[in-house]
Structure 1
């Protein structure tokens, strides 16, 4: 394996500055497929300092035994990593080992007393045909020699069987070679030996022959060779009962190799009914008494060849087999088919191994995978065994004096309603906590109740005493999959327990991960907080070209996959925490560093180290973390981080304390005492003296450093009131070399007319000139300081000016709750008149602060300079710079306009006068003013109807039909169109439109018939009078009954008559349309004793918002439907004609008489001519 120094500008990058150097890490690379880097440990022995790297799948693609590499560090030149070949030297005596896939290096922990422990949880040993995956740990000395193999779950293999095969060798068996092939195939899979399985063979026909006994041969090869030499004995009879009984009495004797306490197994192979079946039941009973398990095989070949029934034969052979018959009886079609049952028969025979008389614990621990996790506590080696007790798991406690192996119910919560957990994986991770009262042992079971659990317990001798349980909160989060304890304040006692839930799901169903932090209170852990990573989104190849995550791979971060308690990294006296997040950045991975403080850690990480590169050669950076040693002898703790395919050793950088001070001369600014001249202008100059003092935290030696610093004048102001004399700029950057301590000076001056609102802030920021190398600044100390230079105030003989400000406020508009001010336009403006008077000492930097409600907007000022006021949500106006003199009064106006975006019921203005001078509390009451103006907003909408009048004429010859078949027969149609449009000033409120029309007379006869109602989508209309209630529009005829209509009124409206109503709710919008179609009901008009009638239809509009009101002329529309009847033509009676003639003649006679009397008929011209 290669180790090299890389400049990691591309491979690792720093996100948050701290003292772990990410530029010059020592990296180690190995095969990704070997999972090189899965575990890492820092290590030291007499030979030097090392990084140990676990690679659990070394030996690809076949053996995959795993191993550990030792990688030298701290040498003058890098050396390659060397494989320790631990699997070869890690052996458990007296068992048949299976080291393939043992995954040594999955667990790797260093021994505080020297050496280390490397575990392979998938180590197995063979017992018969069964493989028991018990796990093994290699205890390695400080010189890399394997001291012992620790495998507490391994038990002596006692799965022994004594098997006697009883063969039918009569003449009907054919061909015999099929029988010998069957024997060899069956024997080949047996581990035959004096301490394992023994096999004997008996052949029978008319007589019985022992081919060989149980103790004749001691190896599988010898037994197979002997079986191949067996010849068919022949015979015309099949004495099955005799063969079985002889095998029972003679083959299963101690003289012939039978062993006490070992299971006896008999395999009977025959092809026909027995000739001594009368003895068969007695023989079977004797076998039962001696606990001989019997497998019976019926060969049906002779029956098939003779076309005979097999029913009786099969029943006999079934009676020979042990119960349950279906597991002990086989039948084959002929001798050639014997090979087809070899595998099934072998599995059922060796299944008997699991029923032999052994201790129960050996079976419960047979798949324990001890060493899945490991930890050195003060007294014990803790080995997590996740596979124990049907994957419920346990923790094995190992020490020189013995092993504590808890039983299945030791860790069970007896208060739980559930009888037992299912595959909880207890021992997935283990750790311990040291308290003044003793050691607490901690184990995680991440699948407990699907949410995970952590168990805290004590050891009383070899007995476990559970004292606390911590439960997870989310299903599938794997809470308890990682646990770490840490002594933050370095007092030798544990302060915190960190529990990882690396599969905790985020909001987008990605495995973000979470770490829960618990503090130790005496012997109980109490929840404090949780830590989470930077949110990671799932990488999708459809969205990102650089995405490397395969479709079925998890996404997110898996923050908390590794949690390491590391010694003090930043030299603040407190130990720290490093948390791995290997799925971040498209599976490249990252780690987070959290600094300790007191007995806790900060919630915000101090540094995040992310893996760069392409994610191909190294993946899952942060899979493992360790940081306990100074590996380059610089007095600083270094951090090792592993991924899959590589690991990196990050050197820590020293931490420097830099203390800075600033002093000014003069110490305050008196604007009336100019002490220098800048560009022929007199002003005030200040000398600034800056002193630096540095110290390394790792050692007391004085060191030389180069600092870069920046000074900003009047830092809290956007426009500075002072500038440096040297550059006439407000900012300055300089470098300084310091050896222990150093001081420097700078000079700056004040500009014209500085205000007194606050002191002049001088800000100094600093860092090392080369921040990429050498020490870093102590993050617990500020990297900037700020000092303030106050202004001197002229208050006579007193040091403090005591003023008394009086404020008066008056608005140009008014209103009250009963008569609010009506805002008709968003451009409407008003002003407030402000007056500030000072009754006592000079009020320096007098200013008026104005706060106002959001429904008004600052529009401008009058009567003072425009730059006197600043507006930023609130208004601040300077009054009488640099001070308001005693008895001086200043008045000015501020104008506002209304804000249509906020429609509040009151326009509110709060005004406050203040200054930098002091004012007694008893005079502050008149420094405040308040204006509240109730307001309403007039909505400038348009509300119109197409017609104001509509005329309907009833013809003189119109008659009342007997039935109405169409709506046209009802009468004339009147269609009313109502339109509402939004104005430009204020938003449209919720509106209600009500349309009222007289639909019936007092006699309940129809006047107006509603035939249609339509409206825009932003209107919701309901009518009290249904549309076309008689369904005339659908073609349904309506038969008219005889009616009388006595009304003589000529006007009908809704004030005096019952009316139908249409109510429309109008949601805020720009335009609305409502259309109503009515027909005049002619039969009622014809029957009425009237010549004309006016029907009044009203439309009423109102606002549902109390703040938004409507103009009076926008609230009501009326439409007049005027109906008139024509006079019908007819004959005049005779008496009327005669009377009229007589009257006419009489009038003519009277007219002639009157003319005669007046001389109308005389001829005065004729008389004159006669005269």
Structure 2
């Protein structure tokens, strides 16, 4: 995230479009660049340049290329080791052999003083030796005539498939006796070979395979293919014959045909004949008609053995060995091949040392032509985890890979990935940050070639595997290749900004019980910028910020003048704390005493150019929050211990001592509450009364009074009225007096006489008071009012 997306240094070689194909930062003052496409003589292709950063010049490096290294594309691959030595290679040297032209390569080791070693290898590899393949076919009595013909056809097909290679073939038949039908010779005319094989007559007789192998190993056999349909009659001699073949390094394939090999002992004979591992050198088919089903696999295995190719035997796996800077680390990384054909999986490989301990932690392998519905290119670093770039681009993401350094100073090496075809071939590079045991799969920065320099093409086609400080600011710089150019990009110094908001006064006063007059306050915002893991001091930035007072409320209780709850400002900061004051007003109403103001601060950071760093600008750590909330609370006035201890007293009286049911329509109760202690919060009292009464209203309505009630049920539930006392704050040394009014229901009590006229009784209720804070149970034998005064502790 901290790479400056502006070109610091630009190097080119005019019309040499291949310049910039590979780049190595060799030391803090210079780097190597290759142009493997430049043709400066008929037989010479490829050039390596040494570029001096301070002079911004690139000069050719003199490398004595042997005359046989024709058009080697010098610099098509380059790498660097820990000893500051650089390897420069050219892998396209043609060598004409008998039937094909091979491509060979040579490398040169360059020291820091541009001294170049002799080529490695010193001479080109000679043409591949001829592959001598001998067929030993079973002509015993157990093979039917028609099956013997099928066997000969199978041999002809195998020979034809290798007829264009430098191979010689021999054919021998075994039964009781042994007969060589064709000695080793090349296939110049396949038709004559086919006719010669068709003329082979079946011997009939027993199956003496050990004797036949003993006879055949006396010839210069490279590969031996034994085809048989049953158990050997000279089994005791079989192992000795095979040992002779093993000593001569003869590679042996065994093909068993028919049900005889269902027997374990007979099948074991095939395992004895064949080379190890038997899984690749033993073939079983049910009958002669099935021979063609194994032909392709047999041809592939023969080709592998004949060319000494160490191909993995697992067709769905690749094995790569990781090494470290101090030597080989015997850890292997197994990576599943990708199923998409043509994805070019393995085009680029990059070892990653995440924790900077000189040991490989991850192996990054790219498939730059992997295509899905959103993008092109996909590097992998585990069995299933892939890194992806910006969606919507067909950019060959993963065409170049590098893990050059810890770019952001967090202690973990980071990864660079090139996508040279993005944005109509202008190209881009991506930065992925390393972490504990993994790479963050979300890129932290994308740098488009169009933003770095106009006119670039294929930006990101090459990335240096190391990242050194070329600018002298103690920060790593990266080298990126594009078509015909190399660009140096610098790291920006990272800074941390500590934000602090304070208020004066620090609390909102609660001494004012109404909100007619706004309270004055001052908000002070402070910014303290500090360095993040570097020593650069010439740093400055502009911080734009926006303050929103009471940001979480729709009806705002605070505002700046002229009555606006939002204020925007900016301040320039250096490595010293900078503060700024902003006066504002608060409408402090008593009902909000338990609801503090949440004021929002949003900042925007912009680094200012540093003259000492050639106008390089600092960058803010990305995990610094740009939006924060700062609370301004109401004061509690609870003494030095900040713990409120109230002292509540309560008194009440009826408007009348007697209640005449059916005559009086209302009854009032006067409640007096007093707080002789410190502030009391959310104070309330509860009034319980018998069935027949219903709460109506509270008087007077001035002040903060709120009651709600539930009417009683005859014989089941008492009526209940709960009243808040100056919610939320009942201040110390304050009193509260209200009159509660209740209505009567019509109540008719009937005598047990059998008459139709009801009689009305006059009921007298007595006031019954309990000690404050202590709830009382209703005594059904003595009706009356029960009060309970409550407040939270």
Alignment-derived partner of residue 748 in structure 1: 584
Q: Does the CA contact (< 8 Å) of 1:838 and 1:886 recur in 2?
A: no
C-alpha distance 65-886 of structure 1, shift in aligned 2 (>3 A):
farther
1:57 aligns with 2:37: yes
> In 1, are the aligned partners of 2:333 and 2:363 still within 8 Å (CA)?
no
Counterpart among 495, 500, 520 of residue 656 in structure 1: 495
- Counterpart in 2 of 1:534? 390
Q: Quick check: 2:530–2:575 contact (8 Å CA) kept in 1?
A: no
- Which secondary structure state, in structure 2, belongs to the residue aligned with residue 707 of structure 1? strand
1:683 corresponds to which of 479, 504, 518: 518
**Pairing of 1:575-974 with structure 2 (within 5 A):** 575-612=413-450, 618-626=456-464, 627-670=466-509, 672-673=511-512, 682-700=517-535, 702-703=537-538, 705-714=540-549, 715-717=551-553, 720-725=556-561, 730-751=566-587, 759-768=597-606, 770=608, 773-792=616-635, 801-802=681-682, 839=723, 843-844=727-728
Q: Secondary structure at the match of 2:398?
A: coil
Structure 2 residue aligned with 1:118: 88
* Alpha-carbon contact 2:517-2:587 (below 8 Å) kept: no
1:505–1:58 Cα change, 3 Å: same
Whole-angstrom CA distance in 1 between matches of 2:282 and 2:709 = 77
Provide the rounded CA distance (Å) in 2 between the counterparts of 1:724 and 1:415.
89
Match in the other structure for 1:224:
none
Q: Distance in 2 between matches of 1:743 and 1:630?
A: 36
* Match 1:492 to one of 355, 358, 361: 358
Give the aligned partner of residue 376 of structure 2: 512
Gaps of 5+ in 2: 131-166, 168-180, 197-218, 224-274, 284-293, 305-309, 610-614, 638-643, 647-676, 687-707, 711-720, 730-735, 742-793
Distance 1:885 1:516 in 2: 77
Go from structure 1 to structure 2 and tell me whether the alpha carbon gap of 1:666 and 1:584 turns closer, same or farther (over 3 Å shift).
same
Provide Cα deviations, 1:1134-1155, integer angstroms capped at 9, x if missing partner.
Answer: xxxxxxxxxxxxxxxxxxxxxx
In the TM superposition, what are the counterparts of 1:389-400 in structure 2 within 5 Å? none
Aligned length: 514
Q: 1:559 & 1:701 partners in 2: Cα distance?
A: 35
Find the counterpart in structure 1 of residue 56 from structure 2. 79
1:1101-1140 matched pairs, under 5 angstroms: none
Deviations 1:85-129 (CA, angstroms, capped at 9, x unpaired): 43xx133xxxx71412x2111111112212211111112345689
1:570 is matched with which residue? 408
Contact 1:41–1:108 (8 Å) recurs in 2: yes
Shift of 1:602: 2.3
Maintained 8 Å contact 1:115/1:141: yes
- By how many angstroms is 1:481 displaced? 2.6
1:502 and 2:358 aligned = no
Q: Is the 8 A contact 1:590 1:608 kept in 2?
A: yes
Aligned partner of residue 396 in structure 2, secondary structure: coil
In 1: Cα distance, 2:545 partner to 2:620 partner: 16
Q: 1:458 to 1:572 in 2, by over 3 A?
A: closer
Superposed, 1:55-204 pairs within 5 Å as: 55-59=35-39, 63=43, 65-73=45-53, 75=54, 78-86=55-63, 89-91=64-66, 97-100=68-71, 102-125=72-95, 131-151=101-121, 154-155=124-125
Kindly indicate whether residue 439 of structure 2 is the aligned counterpart of residue 469 of structure 1.
Answer: no
Distance, in Å, in 2 between the alignment partners of 1:739 and 1:115 is: 41
DSSP-derived class of the 1:57 partner: strand
CA distance in 2, matches of 1:888, 1:634: 80
Unaligned runs of 5+ in 1: 1-17, 161-262, 264-287, 296-317, 328-356, 362-407, 427-442, 519-526, 538-555, 807-833, 846-883, 890-1171
Q: CA deviation at 1:512?
A: 1.5
- Measure the CA separation in 1 of the matches of 2:384 and 2:520: 54
| Aligned residue among 14, 19, 26 for 2:2 | 19
Cα distance in 2 for residues equivalent to 1:290 and 1:528: 53
Matches of 1:703 and 1:784, distance apart in 2: 27
CA distance in 2, matches of 1:153, 1:841: 102
Tell me the equivalent position of 2:752: none
Matches within 5 A, 1:332-347: none
Contact 1:568–1:575 (8 Å) recurs in 2: yes
Whether the aligned pair in 1 keeps the contact of 2:26 and 2:112 (CA below 8 Å) is: no
1:598 Cα offset (Å): 3.2
Per-residue CA distance 1:188-219 (angstroms, 9 max, x = gap): xxxxxxxxxxxxxxxxxxxxxxxxxxxxxxxx
SS at match of 2:371: coil
Question: SS of the counterpart of 1:586?
Answer: helix
Measured against aligned partners, the alpha-carbon deviations of 1:554-580 in whole angstroms (never above 9, x if no partner) come to xx1221222211212122222211111
Equivalence map 1:191-230=2 (5 Å): none
How do residues 132-531 of structure 1 correspond to structure 2 at under 5 angstroms?
132-151=102-121, 154-155=124-125, 453-456=318-321, 467-476=332-341, 477-507=343-373, 512-518=376-382, 527=383, 529-531=385-387
Q: Using a 3 Å threshold, how does the CA distance of structure 1 residues 885 and 607 change in structure 2: closer, same or farther? A: farther
Shift of 1:489: 2.4
SS at match of 1:82: strand
* Secondary structure in 1 matching 2:82: coil
Secondary structure of 1:37's aligned partner: coil
Distance in 1 between residues matched to 2:128 and 2:570, nearest whole Å:
83
Distance change in 2, residues 1:763/1:116 (3 Å): same
Task: Calculate the TM-score normalised by the size of structure 1.
Answer: 0.38
Structure 1 partner of 2:144? none
Q: Using the alignment, how far apart are the partners of 1:487 and 1:464 within structure 2?
A: 12
Aligned counterparts of 1:647 and 1:530: Cα–Cα separation in 2: 28
Q: Deviations over 1:614-635 (max 9, x none)?
A: 9996422212212421111210
Contact 2:3–2:489 under 8 Å retained in 1: yes
Structure 1 position 135, deviation (Å): 1.0
Larger gyration radius, structure 1 or structure 2: 1
Deviations 1:1103-1128 (A, max 9, x none): xxxxxxxxxxxxxxxxxxxxxxxxxx
Matched residue, 1:1055 = none
Give, in angstroms, the shift of residue 716 of structure 1.
4.0
**Cα distance between partner residues in 1 of 2:532 and 2:344:** 40
Q: Aligned partners of 1:750, 1:127: CA distance in 2, in Å?
A: 93
- Residue 61 of structure 1 and its aligned partner are, at CA, apart by 9.5
Distance 1:360 1:154 in 2: 24
Aligned to 1:40: 23
| Cα contact 1:691–1:742 (8 A) shared by 2 | yes
Contact 1:421 1:448 in 2 (8 A): no
Give the match's secondary structure for 1:612.
Answer: helix
**Equivalents in 1 of 2:18, 2:538: separation in Å?**
44
State how far apart, in whole Å, the 1-side matches of 2:636 and 2:26 are: 68
Q: Normalising by the residue count of structure 2, what TM-score does the alignment of the two structures yield?
A: 0.54
Determine the C-alpha separation between the residues in 2 that align with 1:664 and 1:464. Answer: 59
The 3 A distance-change label for structure 1 pair 39 and 686 is same
Displacement of 1:156: 5.0
Whole-Å separation in 2 of the counterparts to 1:605 and 1:503? 20
